[in-house]
Amino acid sequence: MNAAIDLFVGFHAVPDDPAVAVWADRRERVDRAFEAVERVMLSGYDHFKRLVIFIFANFACSHTQFFRASAPLRRCLSVLERVEMTRESDTFCSEAVMEMPKRLIECLDENKIRYEVLHHPEAVTAQRIAQAEHVKGRYHAKVVIVKSGDDHLMMVLPADHHIDLEKVEKAVGKAASLDKEHEFRSLFPDCVTGAMPPFGNLYGLPTYVDQSLAEQDYIVFEAGTHIDAIKMSYGDYEKIVKPKVNDLAIKLQPMKGA
């Protein structure tokens, strides 16, 4: 948002007098636009930077004839290459080089489990991921970490369900609350936050599975990143993880008009 405001203020600080059409003023206009872009601080991936390049190029070409000259065009590219990319979230930046957890793949292979690795466009929410994987929400196993006393617990439920803390408390026998990301992130050093596989046994966490998920023939789950998933038999999953099966969640109601 700050980047957008900087661009808006910088561009509109350039004089826009229709009577002024001489070359010197065109040069000044583009120079001022360059200064605006140089002040922009961007966060995230390079596609944000490409978006700025697209917007700036359209602005410059539609407001001046100055970009017919090669030198200003070279300056434009040079300036945009220097636009600083800041990191507001280690989660997404680290994902660019994150791979599927070695411990997960070794566990499946050592147990001679049949599984399929699926690759899909980047997605974050469980239901969006299920859509990207072309599977129904009831088959997609999403992970929710809760805190009960000093213990971190892994809850696994279908993507089309919402965790019910009252049911969780009944299942674990004591008070429980949603765990805070900064408190459990270190427990999954080889995973992108929000893409932890439902294998609490590999991370020293007790694992609970919602009854509705346990009734499915197979499950699909995120494999440590937001672009990789694994499909396998629920029976094989249960044999390896040995989760406690309880009623933990409430099915989400579809939005009207959706």
What is the band of 78 on the pLDDT scale with cuts at 50, 70, 90?
A: low
- State whether the Cα torsion 87-90-95-97 is positive or negative: positive
Q: Tell me the pLDDT tens digit for each residue of 42-61.
A: 444 445 555 555 565 555 55
Name the average pLDDT for the chain: 74
Q: Tell me the pLDDT tens digit for each residue of 86-133.
A: 333 344 444 445 789 999 999 999 999 999 999 876 654 444 544 544
DSSP letter assigned to residue 152:
E
Cα(68)–Cα(65) distance, rounded to whole angstroms? 6
Q: Tell me the pLDDT tens digit for each residue of 173-200.
A: 999 999 999 999 999 999 998 899 999 9
Whether the per-residue pLDDT at 27 is higher than 60: the answer is no
Tally of CB atoms within 10 A around 214: 16
- Strand 177-178, strand 140-148: pairing: antiparallel
Whether the per-residue pLDDT at 231 is higher than 50: the answer is yes
Closest CA to 158 of 126, 188, 196: 126
pLDDT at 184 (0 to 100) = 96
Q: Is 208 exposed, middle or buried (0-12, 13-18, 19+ CB in 10 A)?
A: buried
pLDDT, greater one: 169 or 15? 169
Say which residues have a Cβ less than 8 Å from residue 106's Cβ, sequence separation at least 6: none
Average pLDDT of the segment spanning 226-233: 93
Q: Tell me the pLDDT tens digit for each residue of 140-156.
A: 999 999 999 999 999 99
| Contact between residue 229 and residue 192 where contact means Cβ atoms under 8 Å apart | no
pLDDT at 126 (0 to 100) = 47
